[in-house]
Amino acid sequence: MNFTRWSARLPGTQRRAAARTEQTASPNRRGEGSVPAARTEQLTDEPPSVPAVDELRVREVLDRVPSLVALVHGPDHRIAYVNDAYTTAFGVRPLGERAREALPELDALGLFPLLDQVQRSGKPRTVKSRKAPDGRSYTFTCTPVAQGDGKGGSDGRGVLVFATDVTDHAEAAERLRASERRQRETAVTLQRSLLPQELEEPDDLRVAATYHPGGTEAAVGGDWYDVITLGGGRTALVIGDVMGRGVRAAAVMGQLRTAVRAYARLDLPPHEVLQLLDGLAAEIDANQIATCAYAVHDPNEGKLVYASAGHLPILVRDETGAVLRADEPTGPPLGTGGWVHASGSIPLGPGSTAVLYTDGLVERRDADLDEGIAALESALAGATGTPQVVCDRLVRSAGVTPDHDDDVAVLVLQHPARTGPDSELFRNAALELLGGVEAAPRARAFASGVLTSWRFPAELHDLGVLATSELVANSLQHGTPPMRLRLRRTDRRLIIEVTDGDDHLPRRRRAEPGDESGRGIAIVATIASNWGCRRTPGGGKAVWCEFVLPRTQAP
């Protein structure tokens, strides 16, 4: 093959050559201050012997190019030329041979379909950073070339293969990707370690949760959830989302989750918990915005009391299958300050299912957020089964895949409608405490009768009556009407609670030998498995204690 018969006819080559010729022939027009060309020529004895670009032999240029160059021609891509750099990289290649047999490196790189495409279309194509058999990475540009006379024909077309060594760039990019993968793995590990490893299991609720980190190209965020048993049969449920990405967002999430658990132990109303959390979020990082919804379920009230700091609305499907949306009240995200949060409520009776979630479940770039929430409502209306089944179905219906571009956290809770023998394990009894000092003996008699009817063993019966007596006596002495005694049993514990109209919370203290009072709460704390107190909405307080049932009493 005579290489001199070939020249690259790249788009614009002839136009640029013509333009250079015109510039050489045209006079200098840069202005009066310019130096005439004749004066420049007079400074030298003879004109420079530098050849014009068009006078250079193509082969002389390509032989010295440090990049790899190969030329193939014809429909079967026979080798017309390889330069020295190509030979150094892959060895001597016989001219005139079919490239599929003589250039195995191009076959290994999958370039032959590209050569066919370039030859058919007459348009150049480029593939970036492919690793060759020699272990180095190259960017390949395949350009159509024609015979020297410019005439076509199947035997007159060829492809110039130009390969640039980009190994250093590829290795640097791979190191960067590896670093990003390590950072993401660290963030995911931190995120998962900060989430509850096992959800607490309330007596009256069944709960399940799931967390899906964003895909491999997305940095993990700060989504979190939690279930906190408050005692007295009450349960706090939390969902939140730190807006940032990476390890920092996960660390902030961990601090907020720990703070929520601490504030929850104070048994405060939801809006007061968010108020405290709002101030803490600003102290942790004023530039890190987070949303959060905090809700409390009390089985005696049959509703979910909640507060929201910029978070998406809680959804509840009732026993009839209708889905309700808890829209209001909603305050700004945590850390913004200057806002007084408020609590709202939504019914959550037996047979109901509630869903708390983060925006990754419903937010899409090509759709309105309300559309995503409406789609979730529709999916919830038809999702039945256990909380875990409902959780998985909602995630699937939202199209969440391993390469989803945002974190997703979902918390599902159900208040089961118990019937038959199971309903016997969940019982309530209440007594209004009227009549002053006569209320104490009536309360003891009432508690004794209820505990006997619930067939508790004698020891637990006596402890329950004693705790009732002490709590009622404390309320009669320090509280104000209205007063009420409530007994509740679940499949795991006995709960005794006394409410009154005074909001002064009792505390356990050491009574001196001569004191006539101050021992009631100490006695309750000693005999009960757990005790606590809280302020009630509208004023007043509730003091409660609970006893863990013996195994013979629990299922």
Give the span between the Cα atoms of 210 and 347, in whole angstroms.
24
Give the span between the Cα atoms of 255 and 193, in whole angstroms.
13
Residue 482 banded pLDDT, cuts 50, 70, 90: very high
Q: State the number of CA atoms in the 13 A half-sphere of 339 facing the CB.
A: 20
In degrees, rounded to 5, the angle at the alpha carbon of residue 174 between the alpha carbons of residues 170 and 177 is 140
In degrees, rounded to 5, the angle at the alpha carbon of residue 521 between the alpha carbons of residues 519 and 527 is 100
Residue 47 has a pLDDT of 59
- The three-state secondary structure class of 29 is coil
Question: Using one digit for the tens of pLDDT, what is the confidence trace for 508-530?
Answer: 766 555 555 567 899 999 999 99
81-90, 116-125, 323-332, 447-456, range with greatest mean pLDDT: 447-456
User: Is 68:83 a contact under the CB 8 Å cutoff?
Assistant: yes
7-16, 25-34, 184-193, range with greatest mean pLDDT: 184-193
Residue 38 has a pLDDT of 42
350 C-beta neighbours (distance < 10 Å), count: 17
Does position 281 have pLDDT exceeding 60, yes or no? Answer: yes
pTM: 0.69
For residues 405 and 172, the model is more confident at: 172
Does position 318 have pLDDT exceeding 80, yes or no? Answer: yes
Q: Given CA atoms 417, 419, 421, 423 in this order, what sign does their dihedral have?
A: positive
Residue 298 has a pLDDT of 93
Residue 5 has a pLDDT of 45
Residue 208 has a pLDDT of 96
Question: Using one digit for the tens of pLDDT, what is the confidence trace for 208-224?
Answer: 999 888 765 545 668 89
Residues 6+ apart with CB under 8 A from 289: 242, 243, 310, 333, 334, 335, 336
Residue 241 banded pLDDT, cuts 50, 70, 90: very high
User: Is 312:362 a contact under the CB 8 Å cutoff?
Assistant: yes
480 C-beta neighbours (distance < 10 Å), count: 14
Residue 25 banded pLDDT, cuts 50, 70, 90: very low
Question: Using one digit for the tens of pLDDT, what is the confidence trace for 326-362?
Answer: 988 889 999 887 789 999 999 999 999 999 999 999 9
User: Which whole number is the average pLDDT over 101-120?
Assistant: 89
Give the span between the Cα atoms of 218 and 187, in whole angstroms.
11
What percentage of the chain carries pLDDT values higher than 90?
Answer: 49
Residue 24 has a pLDDT of 44
Least confident of 63-67, 214-218, 429-433, 447-451: 214-218
Does position 379 have pLDDT exceeding 90, yes or no? Answer: yes
Q: Given CA atoms 373, 376, 381, 385 in this order, what sign does their dihedral have?
A: negative
What's the burial of 545, exposed, middle or buried (CB within 10 Å: 0-12/13-18/19+)?
A: buried
Q: Containing H/E element for 389?
A: helix 387-397
Does position 30 have pLDDT exceeding 70, yes or no? Answer: no
Q: Containing H/E element for 158?
A: strand 157-165
Does position 48 have pLDDT exceeding 70, yes or no? Answer: no
User: Which whole number is the average pLDDT over 164-173?
Assistant: 86
Beta strands 484-489 and 427-432, pairing class: antiparallel
Residue 406 has a pLDDT of 82
Q: Given CA atoms 241, 349, 398, 215 in this order, what sign does their dihedral have?
A: positive
Does position 227 have pLDDT exceeding 80, yes or no? Answer: yes
Give the span between the Cα atoms of 289 and 222, in whole angstroms.
10
Does position 51 have pLDDT exceeding 90, yes or no? Answer: no
In degrees, rounded to 5, the angle at the alpha carbon of residue 349 between the alpha carbons of residues 344 and 350 is 155
Distance of CA 304 to the CA centre of its chain: 25
Distance of CA 449 to the CA centre of its chain: 53
User: Which whole number is the average pLDDT over 151-156?
Assistant: 50
For residues 10 and 295, the model is more confident at: 295
